[in-house]
Structure 1
Amino acid sequence: MWNKKIPQGNPVAIHYVDQDGKTLKKDDSQGGELDTKYTITPASIAGYEFVKATEGTLTGTLTSNPQQVTLVYRKAPVTPTTPDSSTSSSSTDSTSSSTSEALPTLKKGQAITAVKKLGLYRTPNFSNRSREFYYAKQPRIKRPQFVVTGVAQSHAGHKRYLVRDVTPNSKRKGRVGYLTAKSTFIVGTYYQHAPKKVQLLTNVNAYREAALTHQIKHFKRGKVLRVKGIVHYHLTTRLVLTNGTYITSNKAHVLAK
């Protein structure tokens, strides 16, 4: 009996400093198998906000050589607890509406999609100063998509999602920051309940397995397909067609009818 030894990459050393180079937090490290991808999510440090990564990148590949990433923080601006700074008239993803509720807390790794113009922020306390940029409202098939990497609260108690941009072919893909958790601005990327029929918004393939492997058929945009069920695959879902094949349930590609 023998077990194959999987080579491990050299862990990435993570340093936390302020803009003067003063250490703010004990060093961390992130390891894994050789040649696998790594993603570093900046830790929350009380009283500080993340600025940028130096001496390395937030995403990369584990190698046999030492790597390090220095995360630079600055003092967080003091913001009033009432009202929340996101209720400013200049902020598009305002939380002032009492009828706009936050989505149920999502698990790390689940996907969300922006349905309105909204900002990406460096901290959970939204303000013009902490805003990185705005995402413009887009047609359904081009809407910005994100993966949740954490959950936080503003000083006023509003829920925020720490996310990573995973929008295909976007120049902002890989960017990290905070988004509002309000359901008027974001929705789950994947259907959670099976519609009876879907119309294809893009060209879509049908597969033999829920992993979307072993392609069986190719459907062109505009085709209406009958659905008999839905299955969970890791943190996403797949639609099961009446012939037993699987297609994506991403709302950017299929529309419930």
Structure 2
Amino acid sequence: MKLLKNILLILSLFATPSFGQQASFDDAKTEVVMRMIGYQVLLQNADSTTRVLPVKKLADAQYQIRFNGPINLNPDSLVNIVKRQMDANSIETSYIVSVKECLIQETLFSYAILQKRQKEIVPCKDRPLAPDCYFIEISFDKEAKADWTIAYVLLFIVACLALFLIFRKRKPKPSDSLLKIGKYEFDTANQCLLIGEQKIKLTYKETQILSILADSPNQLIERNRIQKEVWEDEGVIVGRSLDMYISKLRKKLAKDPNISISNKHSIGYELGVKTG
């Protein structure tokens, strides 16, 4: 469980900001599409003087396109313009378009595009509106956005569980050739000693020291050689450090009475392995 919590924490650190960044990017992209729709409406009527005002976000999935003066608006052209922009920008969700008069804010024309049912509900699109001050409101299907959010969350959870199962099943692989030391098997790759069903972990330096001794069993290995090979990269050798690690190795090898590490004072150490 601790491993799973750690995985979830690490993934959430990467995933949570990405969700927020994606939402911000989608909002900015949608506002650009809204402005493009307004621009295309003016272009359709060869209007080079009226400007598209900043797009107003009314709600989480509702936008308002405004103009700085009266415009000509043909419902049929509006339907085609909006569809082209949605398709061009891969916005594949249901939406409702409403045209309202600025002063009294009554809906003069509206229609719906239902993506799931692949259906258009467009009444009265062949009746042009007289030039006047209008704004266009486009409302997107919140449920569709929520579906995508849920899909992202589910995908995230599945990824976490998959990683958890992978790590849980992964076991340290023994090296191709384990070194036999009496009743022990010395696995240098995974830094451990194996005896029966028991695995005894070794530190990095314990592994280094035992490797040097095990390469030449029943032979005296000079103390200076061990210190040089194990501590040379660190630049500083503490005299008692080697004695401390030898003491720990003796305890970890104590399960086999035929194994010993003897010390010849100030000269070196010998890994004794009795056979027969």
- Return the TM-score normalized by structure 2: 0.20
Greater Rg by CA: 2
- Return the TM-score normalized by structure 1: 0.21
Give the strand-richer structure, 1 or 2: 1
Give the helix-richer structure, 1 or 2: 2
